[in-house]
Copies of this chain bind each other. A is one copy, B any other.
Amino acid sequence: MSLDGFVTGPDPDMDHGLGHGGEPLHTWAIDSDDEIDAAVLRDATNASGAVVMGRRLFDIVDGPKGWNDEMGYGAAHAAQPPFFVVTHSAPEHVRLDLDFTFVTDGVESAVKRARDAAGTKDVYIMGGGDTVRQCVDAGVVDELHIHLSPIVLGGGTPLFAGAARHEMVQQSVLVSRTATHLTYALQ
């Protein structure tokens, strides 16, 4: 997330998954040599027993400039949990060779199915911003993990637009050279 609360820059599309100028948001994840960043990414990936995402995010990660052998859960070395995509209708074709389930009865249903699939591991609600916000507001999120990048974007996809009020309890804060990794427990 940027300091002004955006999880992509303006106008994200298939060619610009992080929006225009949004790349610094993910420096910590894809272009950092800081061991803190690597550990945060590794721990999150390893803890993921299932992943929930919205349809627009799916279209980007499954798109031609999306995940590949070096990046994201598509990477050969990564854990490959089942994915639950919240959508109105399943796509006709899926590029990635991963375990995608398309859930058409809403975000809470997707989370429930992900919980069943995750076993003792965590369900990771990956995004986009609106999917995360819906889950927070629906009360199905235990912890919020924010990776705060040192940039003001001035526009883009907000994480919390239209959110309800939520008091949280600050948990761990991990600081790297490229970002601050914040964890909050929801009450």
Number of copies: 2
Tell me whether A175 and B177 are in contact (CB under 8 A): no
Q: Kindly state the separation between the CA atoms of A74 and B175 in the bound complex, as whole angstroms.
A: 34
Contact with B along A160-182 (1 / 0, CB 8 A): 10111111111001010111101
Given the interface contacts A153-B165, A160-B152, does A182 sit within 8 Å of B180 by beta carbon?
A: yes
Pairwise interchain contact B146-A3, C-beta atoms closer than 8 A: yes
Ranked nearest first, the 10 interchain pairs of A and B with the lowest CB-CB distance are A4-B160, A5-B5, A150-B170, A150-B168, A152-B166, A173-B175, A154-B165, A154-B163, A151-B167, A152-B163
The answer on a CB contact under 8 Å between A179 and B170 is: yes
Q: A3 near B165 (CB under 8 angstroms)?
A: no
- List residues of A (1-36) whose CB comes within 8 Å of B's CBs: 3-5, 21, 24
